[in-house]
Structure 1
Amino acid sequence: MNQEKLNTYFKQTFIDLAQARLGGETLSCSDDFFAEMENLLKPGRGIFIEDKFTDRGKWMDGWESRRSYGRDNGRDFDWCIIRLGIPGIISGFDIDTHFFRGNAPQSISVEACHCKGDIKDAVWITVLEQKSTQAHSQNLFLIDELDNKKQVWTHVRLNIFPDGGVARFRVFGEAKFEPNNFISGELIDLASIKNGAKAMLCSDMFFSDKNNLIMPERGINMGDGWETKRRRDPGPDWLIVKLALEGDFQKLIIDTVHFKGNFPDTFSLEASNGTDDDVLAGNVKWQSVVNKTKLFADREHLFISDIISEKQTFSHIRLNIFPDGGISRLRLFGLPKESL
């Protein structure tokens, strides 16, 4: 798979487990003399400002260590430890050296661990062997599932050889539900990306990404939601979410915050049970959960009485918006099947 196809595959299939908006955090590094490690997890690909300098040298939008000259100063390579925002299975990496033209690493490797205590006691496992990298490029690497063994990881360590700069670091994978975060009988947001839900497929996401719909917190602006282009037919546009767990539905929130002139006129919600492959192939039967209902601008809409309550459980939902428009967030609270 070439780099362009791999980039599309990562973005359509997985989420960035390390992104700062999900709680990802750079914990420590060997050296960040020229540019701070925190830049690694910023959104976008990084920028370049021609005439911007600091008292340490050229300002760079990324993580950049000083020249180590290999073993001359005791450092064989530089490294940075990142706590994932969501523990999960890692499927690939994007080590982006955007604008690092003469100061990119020669090669990289990545280690991972599952650690709930002091990171100093972590046991690191190599998940990506040392690979050559290209300057001013997205360096994409797919992890072999057979080697990964479906292990859930909490932290990664990016190693760069022998030194240099990386603009952005993305850890693509699948979030996993953590039952220890909840008490018995507590309603769980089954559609939350932090609990392991995933936006699988949608009719259109011209203006903003489908996974914004299930991000934590309320949207910060109109770009922080799911918005489709204008249709010239009755619609609907639609989006399918794989729930974090199969469960029942007790409370639904549809939030159109910031969408004032482009919110959908109406919406409906359907649900189904099946494997991901069956859902993607259209081989499941969708059951109505909320019939076609009016929406309003810039508002949280709460639904309780219309939600199925006969202890039925579902694994996937389909949100339909008529005819098009933007929704900031969807919250779907219920109990896992095992708790009923």
Structure 2
Amino acid sequence: MCVSRSECEMIPPVGCCRAPLPPLIHRSSLPSTLLPTMAPSTANEVETMTDLASAAYGSRILFATDEWFAPASRLLLPEPPVFIADKFTSFGKWMDGWETRRKRITGHDWCILALGLRGAVDVVDVDTAFFTGNNAPRVSIQAADFSQNNNALKILTAKATDDRAMGVCATPEEFKLVEQLQSDNWMEIVPPTKLGPGYAETRHNLLQVPPSKRGPWTHLRVNMFPDGGIARLRVYGDVEMDWTRVLSSKLLDLVSVEHGGKVVGFNDAHYGHPRNLMAPGRSKTMADGWETARKATRPPILKADAETGLLEVPGKDWVVLKLGHLGVIQQVEVDTNHFKGNFPESCVVYGTRFHGNEDKLLKDGAVKWEVVLPRVKLQAHKQQYFSVADGNVNLIPTGVNYVKLEMFPDGGISRLRLLGNKKEAAARL
């Protein structure tokens, strides 16, 4: 391991010769070819899981042994990695991920990250995209739950920055501080595992976490053996929230990812994933929302219903979301931020109180849905608010724990907020 910043400076910055690769294949789902230890359905299941390690949810790198070619913070970026053939830095080839120098001393490289969302981990996707001759050969992952205060962790967190530098390695002072976490003794949730290189067919390394090691966790240690590059780290699982500390009188967003909201299923995510609907804050771009493809079945000339004024369209797009807790919805916010020429004409929100196989929620007529928000017209690039108090939202006193958002005929919605109150424990399913 690197022991001083002066050692970093001893190695002169040099360029490297890496042939540009053809663009990665863009797929709506991860490849079905999995490592032998994976369940066959894992690749499809992660499509609806929450990435607990996304920087969009506040995840941050607290420590890294080495960040010569590329900083570890890029591991957590929500955007897919890219390759820019002619982009170089004074430290070598620019790469969209975390890349350490070639090891010329004892040890191996590793980093520690704080999950933005405390949760139970099911699957980890170690994505080596574009790291073809320089990917980390092996990786292991350890985890810890620091729900209680830890002094060393406080200091590391206070020093953490989203804009980490390259061309550096950890100082002796940083090593001394991080040693107080005793991370080498954390629970190993993924044993040392061989990684595939960053080609389209082998870049996604899906590593399943045993049920007994799911957590919940707040921090991870990522070990690469011995060095190299990783483009992205996706940590898929379920957010753990202590609902016993939430008063039933408190109004909060029941579907927010921060409160345990998650995607159950959807019919289309051509341009943007529906998990973005539940993300904190307003969307930064169109890519930070849910956007579907244009309906190929749309009629040559659109007509409106004479009574409602709503367009008569042949199709719709939908997503089913699970709330963090059974609750009574009081207010609905539909935000089309950044969707100006591609917002839906209208939308409707349904709710249900359901317990059982979630596959039934995705089949027409299998579950009884009640209307929460009747079909309403939407506007471009705007937050629209509807409430029980204004008579626009139907009150369902028994509560719902799943909702279904339908938009007509297609388009983009950036955020869906469902403000409401949790039902008491006695009313939970």
Shift of 1:64: 1.8
Structure 1 contact 236–324 (Cα < 8 Å) conserved: yes
Q: Indicate the larger mover: 249-258 or 226-235.
A: 226-235
Indicate whether 1:272 and 2:352 are aligned: yes
Indicate whether 1:3 and 2:38 are aligned: no
CA offsets, 1:208-239, max 9 Å, x none?
11111111111222232212222224323221
| Distance change (3 Å), C-alpha of 1:336 and 1:322 | same
Identify the match of residue 167 of structure 1 among 219, 222, 231: 231
Which residue of structure 2 aligns with residue 47 of structure 1? 82
The structure with more radius of gyration: 2
Indicate whether 1:110 and 2:119 are aligned: no
Which residue of structure 1 aligns with residue 22 of structure 2? none
1:203-218 equivalent positions in 2, closer than 5 A: 203-218=267-282
Indicate whether 1:37 and 2:37 are aligned: no
| Distance change (3 Å), C-alpha of 1:180 and 1:34 | farther
Q: TM-score, normalised by structure 2?
A: 0.72
Structure 2, unpaired ranges of 5+: 1-31, 154-179, 299-312
CA offsets, 1:254-298, max 9 Å, x none?
112222222222221111011324424553210111222222222
Q: Distance in 1 between matches of 2:396 and 2:131?
A: 57
Structure 1 contact 6–140 (Cα < 8 Å) conserved: no
Which residue of structure 2 aligns with residue 125 of structure 1? 187
Q: TM-score, normalised by structure 1?
A: 0.89
Identify the match of residue 290 of structure 1 among 363, 367, 373: 373
Q: Distance in 1 between matches of 2:92 and 2:209?
A: 39
Tell me the amino acid that sits aligned with residue 290 of structure 1.
Answer: L
Q: Distance in 2 between matches of 1:38 and 1:93?
A: 17
Q: Percent identity?
A: 37
Alignment size in residue pairs: 335
Q: Distance in 1 between matches of 2:258 and 2:115?
A: 11
| Distance change (3 Å), C-alpha of 1:278 and 1:51 | closer
RMSD, aligned CA = 2.4
The runs of at least 4 consecutive aligned structure 1 residues that moved more than 4 Å come to: 4-7, 180-184
Tell me the amino acid that sits aligned with residue 375 of structure 2.
Answer: K
SS at match of 1:147: helix
CA offsets, 1:13-34, max 9 Å, x none?
3121111111111110112122
Tell me the amino acid that sits aligned with residue 186 of structure 1.
Answer: K
| Distance change (3 Å), C-alpha of 1:293 and 1:46 | closer
Shift of 1:310: 5.4
Tell me the amino acid that sits aligned with residue 151 of structure 1.
Answer: G
Q: Distance in 2 between matches of 1:221 and 1:125?
A: 38
| Distance change (3 Å), C-alpha of 1:61 and 1:256 | closer
SS at match of 2:258: helix
Structure 1, unpaired ranges of 5+: none
Indicate whether 1:81 and 2:118 are aligned: no
Shift of 1:334: 0.8
Which residue of structure 2 aligns with residue 202 of structure 1? 266
Tell me the amino acid that sits aligned with residue 78 of structure 2.
Answer: P
Larger strand percent: 1
Indicate whether 1:226 and 2:308 are aligned: no
Identify the match of residue 258 of structure 1 among 334, 338, 350: 338
| Distance change (3 Å), C-alpha of 1:322 and 1:46 | closer
